Amino acid sequence: MFSVCRRVQSTSIKFNINKQSSKTKHSKNVSADDNNGTAIMFMNMGGPSTVPETHDFLYRLFADGDLIPFGRFQEPLAKFIAWRRTPKIEEYYKQIGGGSPIRKWSEYQASKVCERLDLISPSTAPHKPYVAFRYANPLTNETLQKMIDDGVTRAVAFSQYPQFSYSTTASSLNELYRETLKLDPNGQIEWSVIDRWPKHFSLVDTFAKHINEALDTFPEEVRDQVVIQFSAHSLPMEVINKADSYPAEVAASVYTVMEKLQFSNPYRLTWQSQVGPKPWLGAKTDQTAIRFCDEFSKDDVPGVVIVPIAFTSDHIETLHEIDIQLKTDLKNKSRMIRCESINGDPLFHDGVAHLVKDHLQSGELYSKQLPLDYLLGKTPSTVTFKHPKEFFGNRRKNLE
C-alpha cells in the first residue's frame, strides 16, 4: 500500500525549519495556467456510500499507520479488525439509510464552491471540482487519474478537515503524494494546499448560525443556560503526544465560535469515536452528555446542544453515534439536541470560495505550520516527503 515506483530527486534536500518559506509563488502568479483553469480537490477520509463497501473502507482505515499506528502488526490487525467489525458497522449504515452521505455532500460542496469561485476569482477560472477520499470511493488514485485525463495543470488540495492532524490531513496528503509519483511522474499538475482553516468564517459563521437555530428550540427563559457541547473525533494519545496540532486547533475553532456567539452560553469540548484499548483523547462525548442530561438536574443543565465542530457534513459519527446511539443511552432524551451539520448551507459554500480565492491570491503553497507538522508527525511506515516544498508548487522544477 505504501510502495512507490521511484525515488523523488529532491529527497536529499535538508530540512531547516528556520529557512524554509511557504510563500514560494504559484507559477504565473494567481492566473490559471494556459487558461486551463484551476482544479479544487476536496479531500476527506470518506465513508462507504453503500453497505457492501463497508469492509474495504474499514480495512483501508485500520491499515493506515498515520491514523491508528499499530507498527509491524498494522497489516494483520487491519485485516482482523475489518473482518470482525464489518457486520456491526454494516448494520449501522443500514440504520442511517444504507450508506454514508459524505460523498454526496462533498461533491455538492465542491461543485457549489467552484461555481462561486468562477464569479469572485475570474483570473483563476474555470474552477473544476474534484473529490478524493482516503478510505472510500472515489479513492485518491481514481480522482488523480481523472484530473490527469482532464488535462489539469493547476490544482489546490483542499482539506475538508478544518483542523490539522498528521493522522487525517497529512495522511490524505501523503496518499496524494504517493499516487502522484505513480500517475504523474513528470509533474503535469502543480499543487498547493489549504491544510487548515480552524478559525475561518466559513466554519465559524455557519456553525454559529446552526447553534442559534438549535438553541431556539429551548424555552426562552432557560435558553442562555443550555450547555453547548462541541464534539470532535478523538485521536489516540500516541498521536497527540507527538505534539500534533489537532487539539489546539479544534479548541481554537470552539473558542472562535463562542466569540461569534458572544459567549452566550456555557460550553465544553469533548471527543468521540474512540476505538480499541489504547488511550485516546478525552473527555468522551457520550459520557459527558449522559452526565449533563441524566445526572444533573434541569435547574443546573436545562439542555444540551451537541455541535460536530470537526466535521463538514453528516456521516456515521453524527447520524448514528450521536443521533441514534447516544439518544438511546440517554434517559432524558428531550434535553439533548444536535445542531445541524454544515452540509448544504450556502453560507459555508460562499465562505470556502473566499478561503480558496484568498489562498490563490496570497501565493502561499502551504501553511507555515506544515513543515513542523511533518518534522514531528512522520511515522516510519509512511513513504512521503520530508518537507512540503518537495511536493507543492515547485515539483516540476525539482524534476528538471
**Catalytic one of 26, 41, 43, 45:** 45
**Catalytic one of 43, 58, 67, 365:** 67
**135 is annotated as an active-site residue:** yes
**53 is annotated as an active-site residue:** no
- 3-state SS of the chain is CCCCCCCCCCCCCCCCCCCCCCCCCCCCCCCCHHHCCEEEEEEECCCCCCHHHHHHHHHHHHCCCCCCCCHHHHHHHHHHHHHHHHHHHHHHHHHCCCCCCHHHHHHHHHHHHHHHHHHHCHHHCCEEEEEEECCCCCEHHHHHHHHHHCCCCEEEEEECCCCCCHHHHHHHHHHHHHHHHHHCCCCCCEEEEECCCCCCHHHHHHHHHHHHHHHCCCCCCCHHHCEEEEEEECCEHHHHCCCCCHHHHHHHHHHHHHHHCCCCCCEEEEEECCCCCCCECCCEHHHHHHHHHHHCCCCCCCCEEEEECCCCCCCHHHHHHHHHHHHHHCCCHHHEEECCCCCCCHHHHHHHHHHHHHHHHHCCCCCCCHHHHHHHHCCCCCCCCCCHHHCCCCHHHHHC
**Catalytic one of 196, 233, 320, 359:** 233
**317 is annotated as an active-site residue:** yes
**314 is annotated as an active-site residue:** yes
**Catalytic one of 59, 92, 93, 135:** 135
**321 is annotated as an active-site residue:** yes
**134 is annotated as an active-site residue:** yes
**255 is annotated as an active-site residue:** no
**130 is annotated as an active-site residue:** no
**Catalytic one of 179, 249, 314, 350:** 314
**354 is annotated as an active-site residue:** no
**Catalytic one of 317, 350, 364, 373:** 317
- The residues carrying an active-site annotation are 45, 61, 67, 134-135, 233, 314, 317, 321
